[in-house]
A and B are shown apart, each in its own frame.
Chain A
Amino acid sequence: LAKTTQPISMDSYEGQEVNITCSHNNIATNDYITWYQQFPSQGPRFIIQGYKTKVTNEVASLFIPADRKSSTLSLPRVSLSDTAVYYCLVGRTDSWGKLQFGAGTQVVVTP
């Protein structure tokens, strides 16, 4: 499973866009990039998944450059409720599917 590196923490104000970049230099050809969000005392929640270029859903956008050695999760116009830990994961779809989490990025949104 490819190792990922992401910032330990990020601060933002309400209404701003938050961009979290994750490095995964050893990503394999079959690996997808997945982001999860976790609030205190809750299990992680799937946010978005992508393989290349750009993916957008109602919650976030995921930007993946051509070399796929990094990816950026973009949270538009954050609110206080977006305060959480965000995890970047990289893995193969043909594996057992176990997820390898790092320490994640603690995002704190203030008024």
Chain B
Amino acid sequence: DTGVSQDPRHKITKRGQNVTFRCDPISEHNRLYWYRQTLGQGPEFLTYFQNEAQLEKSRLLSDRFSAERPKGSFSTLEIQRTEQGDSAMYLCASRDSTDTQYFGPGTRLTVL
């Protein structure tokens, strides 16, 4: 399968703990996006990478959130000191030259 992959698929953590998610985009895609989706809503944009450069961050991305894409390949999204309001599905997408974004299956985070 050469699609976008995300790991883990599910994460349950206690409030105050740190969590890290990984996204592996489609190999030839140099643009990578993170979104967050809560129940009943569409995905909301969090941040965007072109190769290893983080070019845009949403105001939703508080100081507790950090994303990296060190070698322009996989990306990680870390949430520090998790809060119950962080519970959501975290989606990663990569983009080809035709502007189509391909989404991964997401990581569902539950903060207890």
Interface residues of A, Cβ cutoff 8 Å to B:
32, 41-46, 49, 85, 87, 93, 96-104
**Residue in chain A with minimal CB distance to B104:** A43
CB distance from A93 to the nearest CB of B (A): 6
Bound-state CA distance A49–B43 (Å) is 18
- CB < 8 Å neighbour of B105 from A42, A98, A99: A42
B interface residues, how many (CB within 8 angstroms):
27
**Residue in chain B with minimal CB distance to A106:** B40
- Against A, the Cβ 8 Å flags (1 = close, 0 = not) of B78-104 are 000000000001011101000111111
**Is the pair B4, A103 in contact by a Cβ cutoff of 8 Å?**
no
Given A43-B91, A43-B104, A49-B100: A96 touches B48 (CB 8 Å cut-off): yes
Bound-state CA distance A15–B45 (Å) is 35
**Is the pair A93, B33 in contact by a Cβ cutoff of 8 Å?**
no
Given A103-B40, A104-B42: A98 touches B102 (CB 8 Å cut-off): no
Given A41-B108, A43-B93, A43-B106: A97 touches B44 (CB 8 Å cut-off): no
CB distance from B22 to the nearest CB of A (A): 15
Bound-state CA distance A41–B108 (Å) is 8
Bound-state CA distance A46–B95 (Å) is 11
**Which residues of the other chain, B, contact A42 by a CB distance below 8 angstroms?**
103, 105-106
**Which residues of the other chain, A, contact B106 by a CB distance below 8 angstroms?**
41-43
Given A41-B105, A96-B48: A46 touches B43 (CB 8 Å cut-off): no
CB distance from B24 to the nearest CB of A (A): 13
**Which residues of the other chain, A, contact B55 by a CB distance below 8 angstroms?**
96
CB distance from B13 to the nearest CB of A (A): 19
- Supply 12 A–B pairs (Cβ within 8 Å), ascending by A: A41-B89, A42-B106, A43-B4, A44-B43, A85-B42, A96-B56, A97-B33, A97-B48, A97-B95, A98-B48, A99-B93, A102-B42
CB distance from B100 to the nearest CB of A (A): 5
